[in-house]
Amino acid sequence: MIKSKNDCGISLSEKQIQNLARKHGTPLFIINRAELVNNLNRFNNFLPRIQPYYAVKANSHPEILKVLARKNICFDVASKGEIESLLGLAVAPERMLFANTIKRTESLKFAEKQLINLMTFDSEYELYKIAEFAPNAKVMIRVKVSNVGSIVELSVKFGVEAADAIPFLIKAHRLGLKPIGVSFHVGSQCLKVENYVEALEMASIIFRDAKLKQVPLEILDIGGGFPIRHFDYENDIFAGMAPVINKELDRLFDPTIKIIAEPGRAIVGSAGILVMKVIGKSIRFNKHWYYLDDGIYGSLSGLIYDHCKYQYKILRKGKSQISTIAGPTCDGLDVISNSEEMPELEIGDIVYVPNIGAYSIASATNFNSLPLPKVIAIN
């Protein structure tokens, strides 16, 4: 079986993978609906006080959104296009948070028309824009917090200094908006619970100061960053983080405060598997090179955009040797890995990647006009 303690739930046999590849061709992207639901239930069990808003940017494939919409989950949206996708699935506007702090005016007008009024900001310029084009908005200030130890740091681009939070919230009130909460993000695939602890302490201070300034707040958004298990570390880090986060939430925030989060990878990461085929072979630099029918410009784009590490598995058995795998494009950048241990492969052999549900196909391109993977969903 494919599934092991590091494979996080995609339980397909090698025969099933071969049959799916034979039936649908490659590259092939498999979405496991049951795993999506399992991950959502796991998140709710680990963090029972937190209401999840799935980060649509992590993977907006219709099959994923359909499953989550049926579970009555809320959504973190970043654009008019993401809003339209959810409206097409009959997701109510009150189930959406417009969490992009750099919103197009057209998107703000559309959100206002659709009665989507919960959104974040992190600059005075954004406040003026929201006040003009979405005057009924309820706004949360996004504050910069430590991202140390996270795979993707976001505080370089987003968030205001904590000391500036109260003046911005007061400014929002003066502009006729409703300042309603505080938002932060500890960075994607966060491996240090200390980031959450420090951010929660800082947010609680802002809540207390806001109350003293007669700007009482109602919502805390602790963002995303909840890590999934990967082959390069053994422990389930999220399972260890959750009790600490729960303890700090109960210690610092009154039960009347609504706590929300923006999980993306934690919901969809382990629900995707990419199946590829060897389409070429050579010996370069005294090493076997294998060329696959998907690569860095396709579903493995996370190697660059997401700073992600993937595990490459094969169906062929035999004595392993250090090899290089590369993608199908005409660009020299499209080298997937220079140090994979694998037996000698033949053209037509299958290589597959578990835990690739997040981003991947969301940031894939069709460079060289090569086909994107066919996407199928299984139960």
Tell me which DSSP letter residue 222 carries: -
∠248-71-374 over CA atoms, to 5°?
110
**Cα separation, 192 vs 5, whole angstroms:** 21
Q: What are the angstrom distances between the C-alpha of 341 and each of 45, 291, 310? A: 38, 15, 13
3-state secondary structure of 281: strand
State the amino acid at position 27 in one-letter form: P
Non-local (6+) Cβ contacts of 150 within 8 A are: 186, 187, 188, 189, 190, 191, 192, 195, 225
**Cα separation, 38 vs 245, whole angstroms:** 21
Q: Which two tokens stand for residue 370?
A: 């090569």
Q: Is 193 left (phi over 0), alpha (psi -120 to 50) or beta?
A: alpha
Tell me which DSSP letter residue 371 carries: P
The residues annotated with a catalytic role in the active site are: 330
Q: What are the angstrom distances between the C-alpha of 235 and each of 3, 171, 229, 231, 239? A: 16, 44, 7, 10, 9
**Cα separation, 234 vs 23, whole angstroms:** 34
Tokens 């986060």, located at residue:
245
Beta strands in 122-194 (DSSP E): 138-142, 150-152, 178-183, 188-190
H or E segment to which residue 134 belongs: none
Give me the numbers of helices (H) and strands (E) for the chain, helices first please.
11, 18
